[in-house]
């Protein structure tokens, strides 16, 4: 005969619930790509318009950042917040890479 150990009460509790995700991973990745394309493409579109080019350039450049911050900070589904976070990350990555390219070009000239 085998003896069954006494139940100490630990086996009757369900596992703890997993916390809800704040950001959807796929939406963050898509937002990064969209942020990079938007940060480069939209201001270039504003640069080709001769009349209001500088204002449109600055507005579109900051528009990507503001849109990302609003989407990431607003309550809603994780997909929308993930897209906003991705836009902000893509915007920042693009500016860092652009600044590095400027430094490399300037150092090669002088």
* 30 CB-contact burial (10 Å; exposed 0-12 / middle 13-18 / buried 19+): middle
Report the pLDDT value the prediction gives residue 47, as an integer from 0 to 100. Answer: 66
The answer, as to whether pTM is greater than 0.85, is no
pLDDT at 50: 67
What does the chain look like in DSSP terms, one character per residue?
-PPPPPP-SGGGSPPPPPPPPSS-HHHHHHHHHHHHHHHHHHHHHHHS-TTTHHHHHHHHHHHHHHHHHHHHHS-S-HHHHHHHHHHHHHHHHHHHHHHHHHHHHHHHH-
**Residues 64, 35: contact at Cβ < 8 Å?**
yes
How much is the pLDDT for 62? Answer: 86
What pLDDT does 9 receive?
A: 58
- Among positive and negative, which fits the CA dihedral 36, 40, 45, 46? positive
pLDDT of residue 16: 76
Domain assignments of the chain as residue spans, ordered by start: 22-109
Q: What is the pLDDT of residue 46?
A: 65
Q: Provide block-wise average pLDDT over 10 residues at a time, the chain (110 residues).
A: 62 73 88 87 71 72 90 91 93 91 90
């Amino acid at each position: 005969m085998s003896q069954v150990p006494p139940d100490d009460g630990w086996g009757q509790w369900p596992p703890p619930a997993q916390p809800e995700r704040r950001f959807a991973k796929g939406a963050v990745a898509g937002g990064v790509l969209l942020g990079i394309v938007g940060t480069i493409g939209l201001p270039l579109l504003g640069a080709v318009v001769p009349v209001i080019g500088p204002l449109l350039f600055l507005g579109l450049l900051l528009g990507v950042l503001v849109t990302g911050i609003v989407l990431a900070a607003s309550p809603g589904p994780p997909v929308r917040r993930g897209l906003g976070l991705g836009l902000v990350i893509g915007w920042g990555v693009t500016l860092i890479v652009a600044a590095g390219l400027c430094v490399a070009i300037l150092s090669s000239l002088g």
